[in-house]
Structure formats: structure tokens, C-alpha cells
Structure 1
Amino acid sequence: MKKLHFIISLFVLAMAIGCSNDSSGSDVDIDSVGAPVNISALTTIAQDNSGKVTFLPKGEGVTQYEIYFGHGATQPVIVNPGATTTHTYPEGIYQAKIVAMGINGKKTEITQTLTVSFLAPTNLQVTLAHVVGDNLSASVSAKANFETFFQVYFGEDPNEIPVDFMEGETIKHTYANVGTYEVKVVALSGGVATTTHTESITISNPILLPVDFESATLNYAFNNFGGALTAVANNPSVDASNVSAKVAKLTKTAGAEVWAGSFLELGEPIDFSTLKKIRIKAWSPKAGIVVKMKLENLTDSNINTEVDVTNTVANNWEELTFDFSAVDNANKYQRVVLFFDFGNAGTGADYYYDDIQLSSGAESLVLPLTFESATLSYAYGNFGGATTAVITNPEKSGINTSSTVSALTKGNGSEVWAGSSLALDTPINFSTFKKLKMKVWSPQAGIIVKFKLENLTDSSINKEIDATTTVADGWEELTFDFAGIVNANNYQRIVIFCDFGNSGTGKTYYFDDIKQSN
């Protein structure tokens, strides 16, 4: 059997090498492929005092596994990815070794402690927690004495099949609905007796600022009054000023009261300790109407405050800012009430709003970026020997006659990956527009311009796209297609690399007008 598996592995390796030298000319360097990673083994034991343990090895980039049981025969058992193998142990603690081999023969090995006991596990300790940033998910980990493995039931399905896991692993589960669930963790050894821990967890999914109406799991439970009707709807005017797919639609029905409106209840009071203003995007069929925002205490509507703003744009999106600088934060305002065309009876007109968020009232650093603002601070983060700053456009010609642009200088001897980053005030919304466009001026054609997006708090969450210039000493517009991007990753930092892959020679590259597009 060992020889057969060895022959199969050589066959796979030969196939990969053969495929790497096809007629396309795109050679794949097999030797450059790294060794397998994330190697482990799920070990489960029969509960019949037999000591029979099943191994399910796991890993990435693996063509075959060698399992050394740490008991009995010294020769390993060969296991293919996805397959299992078994071994019978007497009671004791063993050091099993898992060796994973990749397509080029590189190996990674780990040693895993295995406890075989016929006694019931003791000292079971379970950690059940909410997942930060994911209201509908919970995580479980556990440890115990004399256990071989654990099973967890998350309590959502009466016919639930438990999830097996090992000590040191954390298991995540996402619930379909809010509610309180009883989570059960069972510690198993090789005997019939088990040890169980049960614990309740409450899953809630509150509406919190900022509100963008894009969530498929949140319940946007609008409360209507006076003849107004509000619901989540498709964006009636998707463009650069509002790229959202979903927005709130308020219909002020014919004959509705002059004070008709609707409100949303937030999951917690608005925190005005630092930011004192609330900004929304609004769309109206006419300009010059009064848009009123009222804030109320959740339990006593007599505790309230309101601000009026008059819109200036018809049939398009604009940002409206409501100044609550005098607000008393101790009043715990938790209900957001909106009125459109306040003071006039309803005519059946539709009004839309979106992106309710706290604001300083200052201009926001968001897409599209034109670099023309006199008040924004374009605080670039530079790395690898590159420096970037906003300067006067040195080449007002062709497709770009704007006054100011960003200039990236790749210093002499700078790294091949030298570049600059810029953090936006809010994540880019990719719900409708999946492409980014940027105007670029380069002293040479044929260079790679890399556009990278990163999560603001975790740069390992990122996505990058390359484009190649075709013009020297002139402006051109490059398109970066982020089709398939996960909007929930909240990409908020943009990173620009010019002439990626080559060391710096002191040349300067210019870019401008970064915007979303389809």
C-alpha cells in the first residue's frame, strides 16, 4: 500500500510539472511552492473501552500524509487528503506525529498529544463567546482532563449533528435568527461515560449607527405615523454620490399629515461624547423642502430634540448634516425620527435616505477622491522608499486639467514594493460598483500600477489588482476590476504602487480622480 501511494504522488508531481510547461509559455516554478501549512489531525475515539482512535489529518497544500501513531509499529501509515486511518491504543498519553508532503516533496510535520483514557473526562472548561463584529455568530473552545476530543451542539436545530473538535481549536457557528440558544459541549474519552457542559447564549442583531440599509440579516423595523410609509428599497439613483444598492424609501401618501414621518429604534443610545452631528444622504423629487430629524429617548418620547435642514438638490443625492451640538448626552437618545417636506401635506411623493452616521461636520475623506479640497488632510502613509504628496498638477492636458493631483516619487534604490497608503473615513461600498478608476501619469509605458485595498484594523484582510500603463508622459485612465470582492470586509485603506516589481530610480508618478464605476 505504501508503494502505491508513493507512485500516485510521483504521478501527481509529474503531471504538475508537465502542465507547468504548456504552450502558453506561462511556466510554473514548482520548486517555489511552499511547504504545506496549517497541519493538524482530528482524533476521535470509540466509546467502548476498545481504545480505537480514528485520525482525520487536515492541512493546506498537501498531497499525502504520513501518520506516526506513537505506539506500536515505527513505520508510518500513508493517508490521502480527506481520508482517515485508525489505530488501537491502551490507556495512556501518546505523541502522534503527522507529516504532510506537498506537490514538490516539501514536508511539514507536527506532533500532537493524544490522551487515551476509559475514565470520564474531568475539569471540563468551556469558553462560549460572541464573535466581535459578527452579531449572529458565536465561538466555542474547551479543555478538560482525560478527554480525547469534544463535540458541540449549538442548539439551533433539534436534529443537529454535533461538530467534533480538539482542545486548542475554536469553533465558530453563525445563527440564522436572533434568540436565546442552549449550547452543549460534550467531552469524550474512550469509555462510555462523558462529561457535559450546557450554557445559554443570546444572539441579537441590533441596529446601530452607522445605518446603511445593506444588511440582509438586520430587521429595519420602521414605525410609521401620520400617513407616511417607509421600507428598504433599491437605490433609485446609483451614481458616484451614492453607490449603495439599498436605501430607505419614505412615501408621504396623498393627504398625509404635514408631520407624517417614521422612526427607527437603535440597539443602544447614540453616543454624542465626541461627534455632535448626524449626517445622512437624501434624495428628493424637489429642492427647498424641510427635512426634520428628531431624536427621542426610547422610554419617554417627551425627552427629545430636533433639527431642521433644507435640501438644495432635486432628483439627486446630497448630504444633509444635522447639528446636535447642544444635545445632552445623558438623555440617551435611541430613536431616530425623520420627516420629509415637513409642514406640507402629503402628495404621494417618494423620498429616499441612506447612510445615517455621526459626523464632525467636516468634509469627509471618501470616494471619489479628486485631491482638490482645501480642508481635507491627505495623510499618506509611505513605505519601502516611496513618498507621496498632493501637489499642483504639473501636466494640465488631455483627460486631466484639474488643479491638484497626488505625486508618488519612488526614490533611488527604493524597494520593488515601495508605495503609499491613504485611510478613508468610511469603508468603500462595493454593493453596486465593483470597479475603481484612476487617472495616471507615468514617465514610461508598460509599468505595473498595483491598487490594493485593506481593512483598516486588519491589513491581512486585503485584495489587490494590477493594471499596466500604455502611455508615456501623458494622462490615461486605468481600471481596476474588483469583481467578486466581499463588501463585508470593510475595505477602508487604499494602497498605490507604481512600477511595481522594479526598484526605484527616483522617478515621479502622478495619480488623480479615484472613483467607483461599472
Structure 2
Amino acid sequence: MKFLMQRFSMNAIAFAATALLAACGGGDATAPLTSQTISFTPATTGTVGTPITLEATASSKLAVRFTASPETVCTVKDTTLTLVGAGTCNVKADQAGNTTFAAATQVSKDITVSNTATPMAQAALVVVPGASTLAPSATTGLSTTGGNGTGAVTYSITSGSCSISGTTLTAAASTGTCKISATKAADGSYSAATSSEVTVTVSTCITTATQQCYSFAEASMAISPFGADMASTVANDPKDSTNKVAKYDFKANTDGWAGGTVNPTGAATGNTANTVVTANFSTTKTATLRSYSPELGKAILLKFENADGSKTMEVKTNTTKRNEWETLTFDFAQATPAFDPAAIYNKVSIFPDFTINAPKSGGAATYYFDELKYPIGSSSGGTSGSTCTPSTSSNASTLVSFDTDCAAVTGFEGAEDSTVAADPVTSTNKVAKVVKSSSAQPWAGTTAYINTANKSIARIPFTSTATIMKLKVYVPAAGIVVRLKVEDASNDTKSVETEATTTQGNTWETLTFNFANQATGTAALNTSTTYNKASVFFKFGTSGANGGGGTFYFDDLTFGN
């Protein structure tokens, strides 16, 4: 009986426990997981080659796992982050949780990786406009030299009314100047760089390889007067005080032949100071001159001659307006004496109110002149040997193109294997081919010419605002330094050199050479020098033995934009 009572008592307890569990949802119930967080604050910058030890903690005390991308910038193993390239490394920290803790919210951090611990300063950045002088509303391309790294280059107008779209500069609609600067953005290795300003002049006076234009707005310009009571100076334009023009003042009874000689250098008077770019009226027969006269019907004489006066020619025309600007045209097909193609006409004089053997007809008066334009070219000056007439295209003029039969090359100092050959891209086109040997000197180069006697080209009509030349090149790689040297064919001590660097390989590209920025250690540009010989140097400064050799091509040496 006692045994039965004990059995019954235990069964009752078990029954009660079972009922209680059923009331609470049964024996399969699961407790909720505990949330957790991750604390992860890595360095924000790093350097290629210097690993970073990653540290992160989870509030659960469980281990944190790391992943990193992209692989070109960084990789991770356990807690070691390896930095392999410049850029942005993204690191993610995760904790997946367990039966007690829920997965943590992922933490993502970016690390900027550079090639050096501190970004380096870039080399000096220089803006190179395709032309330093533009006609109103004309366009030209913009490029830069110098700088370092992969940052993008942007251009801006710092003064003036020009405009920029991408790499194209558009001149203002009126004459004046514009100042331009460039900025090259920072990258993983270099800080940002901004160039100095460069000035582009907007003018109606444009010099090319076939036309010379002298404007008295240039700081170096002057007038050398001659004849009793004649005063010739550079002064303010009577209609525009911001512009400079030539001013001729004379008194009553001044000699009828008194005038003034154009002096491009502003130096002391004399034959050398008064030398201008040689005129060539072989094809184009006219010259023009802007004139501001106090009277209409007054004779203006324009005279070209040798610097020593041994050869002359002159033409006279009359003014048609009073106290306003007009453009006078002088027809040298009617010159007295006639144009002599063998002569060197490199001196020019202007005679206002010209008369012979009598005082000037109008008494005391003031005349103004500006923008003297006349033809130039390679066939003037008595150069012996074959010659080519430069061709023109847009605002640029071709000095040498190897599609012409008389263009040739000669190599030196290890580039003797320089020839006119087929274009590596278009075989029907002719270009210059330069093979720089493995034993070549660092200064091995090639002279391009059209006049065989002295290996010369047309005189390059540099002015203080026209300093740009261009050359098409085809080279095996980007980053090749190309030097262009121009000199006096009769005096190799007078030269100027500058450089450009290729940006492409195995394709044609046009390099821009700004002779206002001469190569280090070389002479500055002198606009009074006759530059009529050109030589090209590939991988200048590197000998053939040190990797400077190779095969290179060039074509279309041009002046201007």
C-alpha cells in the first residue's frame, strides 16, 4: 500500500510538470540571440610597401574577419594589410556571430594609398598654347609640359575675354591679351601643381612663314628718324590710347624725303638695329600699312632696301581719308627699281607726305602708322641650291614637308642613317626616317632642309609673341624627349633650342615647341637673329650605348598655329 502511494505521488508531480511546460510553449522554445557591434578605426592613409596591422574588436569578444579590395591596391591575410599600388583601398570588418550572438553590422573603411609617405611636389608645369598670337575669335590648342603623375590637367583664364573649352582656347572678339594657367591634379604620389600664367595676344597682325607683320604694340619696336626736323617715335594710338603705333612728327619746311626706318629691336640706330625679316615679292606683290593722316591725298612712300642701301625698291600711294585709320596697299609689281629676287631686302622705311627736292607740302603735321605687312619666303636672298616654296594651311605654315621633292635630311654624330623614306603608317607618304645607332652620341641628330647649298630652310619669322613651332613625330614609346634646334645657317653660334616629350608610341602625334622657353643651358630666343636651319634630336642627352638608340620618324615642320 505504501509503495502504491509513492508511485501515485511521483506520477502526479510529473503530470504537473508536463502541464506547466505545455502552458509555456513546450520543450522546443529558443532564446533570442544577443546583438553585437564592431569597433574598427584603421589609419586613413598608407604607403605602398609598408604593411598595416589591422585591429578591430567585437563587443561579443569574438574574432573579427577582414577583407580588402581592389587587389591592384591592397590585399589582406589575417590581420596584415599589404599595400601594393597607389589608389583607394577598401577594408571591410565582419563578425558572423554564433549561437549566442547575432552577426554584427559590417564596418567599411577607405585607406588612401600613395607611392610615397608624403606626396611629392610636381616638376614645374608650363602652359604651351598652340599659338602665342591669335586673330580675333580664332582658336588654338592648349597643352602642357612638365608636371608629374596621372592627375588630370585643366585650364583657366586668369584675365582677358578669351574662353576655354577642354583644351581649346578661343580668342576674344576684339584685340588685347588673355592670360592662361593650368592645374594638374594630385594623385597617389604627387600633390597638385599650378602653372605660371602665359599670355596670348589677340591681334590682327599675325606673322606666318609667308607673311611678316610688324605691330608697334610690341615692346621692342622703335622708329629711327632721318631728315631735318623729323621726329619718329612709338606713341599712343590717336583713337585707342591702349594701343601703340608709330608716330611721325615734322615741322613746316621739313625735307620732303624725311621719314623713319622700322627698328624691330629698339637698339641703337644703325644698319644692324634696323634689320627686318627679308621681304620676298616673287609671288605676292603687295604690302599693306595702316595709316592715320591729317589730310587725304597725301603721298606715303614705302621703301625696301639692303641693310647697306646698295639695293632699293620703293612704291608710293596716296591717303584717302582724314583723321581716321585706313589700310594702304603698295603694289611692288610697280616698284622703282623693280624687285630683284637675288637681293636681300631687309630694311624698310616709311616716308609721310613724300615729295622730291622740296619741303613737305602740308607744313607741320603728325602722321600715325601701324601693322606693316609684307610677303616673305625661302626663295629671296640669293640662296643657291634647290629650294621649295613653303605651303600654308590655316594659321600654320609648313617649313619642311617630305612630300616635296627637294626636302632632304642629313644625320650626324651617330644618326648618319637619316633618310627620306616611306611613312610607317601610310606607305604612299614620304617622311624623314632617323636611325640612331647603338654607338651614337647623346647629341646625335638630323638636320632637315630644302636648300642644299647650306642645309637651310626659310627664315623662321619669330617675334616676341610668335614663338611656336610644331613637328609630327612617330616614335616607339611615350616619354621620349625630342629636342628641336634652330640656328643661323651661316653662323652656328647663333641658335636657340627647346624640347617636348612624346605622350604616345607607335602612332603619329604633333609636338609643340615653344622657343620662348629655351632648353636649360642654351641661349634665349633673339628675334633679330636669322634662324633658317633646323635640326631634330631624338632621346636627346642619352647615348646609343645607354639606350638612346632606335628608329624614329618625323614630318611637317611648321611655324605658327
Name whichever structure is richer in strand by fraction: 1
- Is the shorter-chain TM-score for this pair beyond 0.5, marking a shared fold? no
Structure of larger gyration radius = 2
Normalising by structure 1, report the TM-score. Answer: 0.36
Question: What is the TM-score when the length of structure 2 is the normalising length?
Answer: 0.33
